[in-house]
């Protein structure tokens, strides 16, 4: 197996911006509040921080705002300096169930109140990266672009971007911002892993050069499928067994996908790494990926995930071609 001490962290520019983010980052989706509270979250975040991670991903919709609150408390507890970390949030889903409250929207009213609420939960003056968590066909793109740009002009955010938007939607938003001399979208947060490649590799291909798009990719392990731990069903301590995440079960137990994962095992063994480390390193090998967002529910998982840096350093074009041919 790869040694527990990972190689030195790499940093990449977030698209065409001057901001540099660690190639491996730490996200709170599923785990914060559901699997761990403040103390364990602090251990995991400090472990990532000690390994050179500077980007910590979050969203208002994660645990209905509690994930942001936990992360904010943890950062204060750990005493990190504001210049030492990059923090994100994402808007669209809303956190209020009442039909009178705004949710599933990117209109101006919702966005301007959402940023203020996130700042309150974090107890911060500004958030580094803010995303439109999904596209909103019911709101004119111009309205969304103006609102996101105004967040930056007001000093409440530093950069804005999108998550799971199509290439056409991203380009339309960028063109509106360019035409009106507004702050342009800098980054996109798409799913990217060995089983979900087309959007990052094909659909966005021209955007990297045309507008300098950065990517902060999520689900490098395909919700855990690429770890190989679902070969014999859903382990009781896995996210596939969590209440509210039943939608993952069919995906994680799909026979042909599991078979392909098992065919990757000899390659991982040759490299002396786990399947998870192989999958994370493969994502980071793509130079159009600014950072790979990893998740963990205990510090040992953070250590294992970040040891993928050693695997990344060992990857060759020939090995990458073998990996891709195996799951094609």
The predicted-structure confidence for 189-226, as pLDDT tens digits, reads as follows 999 999 999 999 999 999 999 999 999 999 999 999 99
Give the CATH number of the domain where residue 129 resides.
3.20.20.100
pLDDT exceeds 70 at position 254: no
Q: Which of 11, 62, 204, 285 is catalytic?
A: 62
* Whether this model's pTM surpasses 0.85: yes
Q: What tokens were used for 1? A: 């197996």
Residue 199 inside a domain? The answer is yes
Indicate the pLDDT class of residue 229, thresholds 50, 70 and 90. Answer: confident
d(CA 300, CA 147): 41
How many angstroms from the chain centroid is the CA of residue 150? 24
Q: What is the pLDDT of residue 3?
A: 46
Closest C-alpha to 228, from 158, 169, 181, 279: 279
d(CA 9, CA 169): 33
H-helix segments, 182-316: 198, 205-210, 249-252, 255-271, 275-285, 299-306, 308-314
Residue 103 inside a domain? The answer is yes
Tell me the pLDDT tens digit for each residue of 129-143: 999 999 999 999 999
pLDDT exceeds 60 at position 245: no
Mean pLDDT of the chain: 92
Q: What is the pLDDT of residue 293?
A: 98
Please indicate whether residue 62 is annotated as part of the active site.
Answer: yes
Closest C-alpha to 238, from 286, 296, 283: 296
Q: What is the pLDDT of residue 321?
A: 98
Indicate the pLDDT class of residue 246, thresholds 50, 70 and 90. Answer: low
For the chain, give the percent of residues with pLDDT over 70: 89
Residue 84 inside a domain? The answer is yes
Question: Are 187 and 290 spatial neighbours (Cβ–Cβ below 8 Å)?
Answer: yes
Per-residue pLDDT averaged across 293-318, rounded? 97
Residue 297 inside a domain? The answer is yes
Per-residue pLDDT averaged across 63-88, rounded? 97
Per-residue pLDDT averaged across 178-194, rounded? 98
Residue 312 inside a domain? The answer is no
Residue 254 inside a domain? The answer is no
d(CA 95, CA 310): 39
Strands (E), the chain: 11-13, 20-22, 24-27, 55-57, 86-91, 127-132, 157-162, 185-188, 214-217, 291-294
Indicate the pLDDT class of residue 233, thresholds 50, 70 and 90. Answer: low
Question: Are 121 and 68 spatial neighbours (Cβ–Cβ below 8 Å)?
Answer: yes
Could you tell me the residue range of the domain that residue 82 belongs to?
Answer: 11-225+278-306
Q: What is the pLDDT of residue 95?
A: 87
d(CA 93, CA 101): 11
Looking at the structure of the chain, the number of domains it has is 1
pLDDT exceeds 90 at position 302: yes
pLDDT exceeds 80 at position 241: no
pLDDT exceeds 90 at position 273: yes
Question: Are 218 and 293 spatial neighbours (Cβ–Cβ below 8 Å)?
Answer: yes
């Amino acid at each position: 197996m790869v040694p527990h001490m990972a190689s030195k962290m790499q940093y990449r520019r977030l698209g065409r911006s001057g901001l540099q983010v660690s190639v491996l980052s730490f996200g709170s989706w599923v785990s914060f509040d559901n699997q761990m509270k403040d103390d364990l979250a602090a251990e995991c975040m400090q472990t990532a921080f000690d390994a050179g991670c500077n980007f910590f991903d979050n969203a208002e919709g994660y645990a209905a705002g509690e994930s942001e609150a936990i992360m904010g408390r943890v950062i204060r507890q750990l005493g990190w300096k504001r210049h030492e970390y990059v923090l994100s949030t994402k808007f669209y889903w809303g956190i209020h169930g009442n039909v009178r409250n705004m949710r599933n929207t990117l209109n101006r009213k919702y966005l301007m109140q959402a940023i203020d609420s996130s700042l309150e939960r974090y107890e911060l003056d500004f958030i580094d990266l803010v995303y439109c968590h999904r596209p909103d066909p019911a709101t004119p793109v111009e309205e969304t672009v103006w609102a996101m740009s105004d967040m930056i002009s007001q000093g409440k955010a530093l950069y804005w971007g999108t998550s799971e938007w199509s290439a056409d939607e991203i380009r339309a938003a960028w063109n509106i911002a360019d035409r009106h001399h507004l702050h342009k979208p800098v980054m996109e947060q798409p799913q990217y892993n060995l089983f979900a490649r087309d959007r990052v590799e094909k659909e966005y291909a021209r955007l990297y050069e045309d507008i300098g798009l950065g990517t902060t990719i999520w689900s490098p392990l395909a919700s855990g499928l690429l770890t190989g731990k679902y070969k014999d069903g859903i382990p009781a301590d896995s996210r596939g067994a969590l209440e509210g995440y039943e939608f993952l079960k069919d995906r994680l137990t799909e026979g042909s996908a599991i078979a392909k994962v098992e065919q990757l095992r000899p390659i991982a063994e040759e490299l002396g790494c786990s399947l998870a480390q192989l999958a994370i390193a493969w994502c980071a090998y793509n130079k159009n990926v600014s950072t790979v967002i990893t998740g963990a529910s205990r510090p040992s998982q953070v250590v294992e995930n970040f040891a993928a840096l050693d695997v990344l350093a060992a990857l060759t074009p020939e090995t990458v071609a073998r990996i891709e041919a195996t799951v094609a």
